[in-house]
Amino acid sequence: MLIDELNLNFMKLNNMKHFLSFVILAFFIKANAQDSLKINDFAPSLVLSSSKNTVQSINFNGSKKIYYVRFWSSGVLKSKQDFYKVKRLFNQNSTAVYKMGESFDVVLVALQSDKVEWLKDIEKFQLGSLNNLIATKSFKDFFVSKYFLKDLPTSFIIDEDGKIVSINPDLNTVKVFIESKRNNVPFIALPNEIVGKITHGETTKTALGNEKIYVTNAKQDTIQTVLTSSTGNFRISGIQNKSELTLKMSKTDKVQGDDDVFLETESGNVVSDFNKTEQGYEYQLSEDDLKDLRVLKEKIKAVKNLVFEESFFTAGQFKLTPLAKGKLDVIVDKLKQEPTKRIEVISHTDCSGEAASNLTLSTKRAISIANYIISKGIAKNRVKAIGKGEEEPVNECVDGVDCLPEELVKNRRTEFKFYETE
């Protein structure tokens, strides 16, 4: 009897131990459950409604794309205050050529039920070329919830493998990361003349005419003063040192309340808004700004074209063939003999395959040719590489048209434009 009672108590004790172990284990699992995304985590896929009235699915894993993803809302002002810069970042890098065949894209995810305000913001900030998605259930959306968002805005850099490399980076960090992935593209050197336009009002973009613009250097010394035209346009010439230049404008009665002042290119593309100061408005020009605002001073006296219809490359590749190098050596000799000449290398493909892939391939091919010419002793500022993809066929062989192989091959060509300048 006593032995049976002891056995029963022992069994109860064991059951209690198992129960306690289970409780402890459950608590441990809950305490250690993932409640945030971390660097090197794979970015969860997104399946959401887009601004084009479709459902868009984005799978980051192994996409071979570099993404900047931002979660925002129309009702959160700070989440959209630099949208102009985001768009500019996209425009400058979406068609660039990268080392590993990557490309760059931007995804903007609005967390809000109000689609009308969302579409208004897309139009207001000219974001139509970006991936605009909306989660009408906000933070509770199934796909959004996988990002464990706690505040807006929240943004991520996602690499070509689909891994998160930065959380809430500033746009300069995004730019630096993109540049680390890009090939060095030959480009014509910056001239010493830029033009632009000054406007105000986020929606109206009203010209600020007859206003003085001050150009200051790194020491904040004014090195030049220019007057905007009646249409807000200005021209700055003769600047030798282009590093750490700042545009400044004094306060004006034309700008009322909280109106922003904008710097635009001559064509009307917004570069950025000015920073407000006690004295007025100022904006430090970056190297990219100077490229966007540049005006080529050179007057072209003559243009001569040279076209090689046969491809310099094997199908789908951008490595130069021995035949190509032989023909390029002739061009190099010509450039050495005539040092006043510049050259544009323009690569074309046929319409086989996707247009975006063809554009990327042609750009890589043009860069390969330009790099070869430069490697033979021709200065970088005399060589420019351009990829046209399938945009400029020499015949009727475009998407949707059946063509013979010998007709398609005519569009797979390399074009050289020689510019002689004063």
pLDDT tens digits, one per residue of 285-336: 887 787 777 654 444 444 456 666 666 887 778 888 888 888 888 888 888 8
Report residue 31's pLDDT band, with 50, 70 and 90 as the boundaries. Answer: very low
DSSP-assigned states of every residue in 235-288:
EEE-----TTEEEEEE--TTS-TT--EEEE-TTS-EEEEPEE-SSEEEEEEPHH
Confidence (pLDDT) at 157: 96
Confidence (pLDDT) at 320: 86
Is residue 42 over pLDDT 80? yes
**Domain-wise residue ranges, the chain:** 46-181, 193-292, 300-421
Confidence (pLDDT) at 421: 56
**More reliable by pLDDT, 374 or 6:** 374
List all residues 6 or more positions away from 275 whose beta carbon is below 8 Å from its beta carbon: 281, 282, 283
**Does this model's pTM top 0.75?**
no
Under DSSP, the state recorded for 51 is: T
Three-class SS of residue 114? coil
Taking every pair of C-alpha atoms in the chain, what is the biggest distance, in angstroms? 117
The CATH architecture one would assign to domain 193-292 is: Sandwich (2.60)
CB 225 within 8 A of CB 280: no
Q: Which CATH class is domain 300-421?
A: alpha beta
The amino acid at 154: T
Report residue 189's pLDDT band, with 50, 70 and 90 as the boundaries. Answer: very low
| Averaged pLDDT score across all residues of the chain | 82
Point out the least confidently predicted range of 30-39, 80-89, 136-145, 260-269. Answer: 30-39
Average pLDDT of the residues in 174-178: 87
Looking at 277-415, list the stretches that DSSP marks H as alpha helix, in order from N- to C-terminal side. 287-292, 322-337, 355-375, 405-408
Q: Tell me whether the CATH fold assigned to 193-292 matches the one assigned to 300-421.
A: no
Is residue 9 over pLDDT 70? no
Average pLDDT of the residues in 222-240: 81
Q: Judge: domain 46-181, CATH 3.40.50.970.
A: no
Confidence (pLDDT) at 150: 92
Confidence (pLDDT) at 139: 96
Three-class SS of residue 157? strand
pLDDT tens digits, one per residue of 43-63: 999 999 999 899 999 999 988
CB 205 within 8 A of CB 241: no
pLDDT tens digits, one per residue of 253-269: 899 888 889 998 876 77
Confidence (pLDDT) at 392: 80
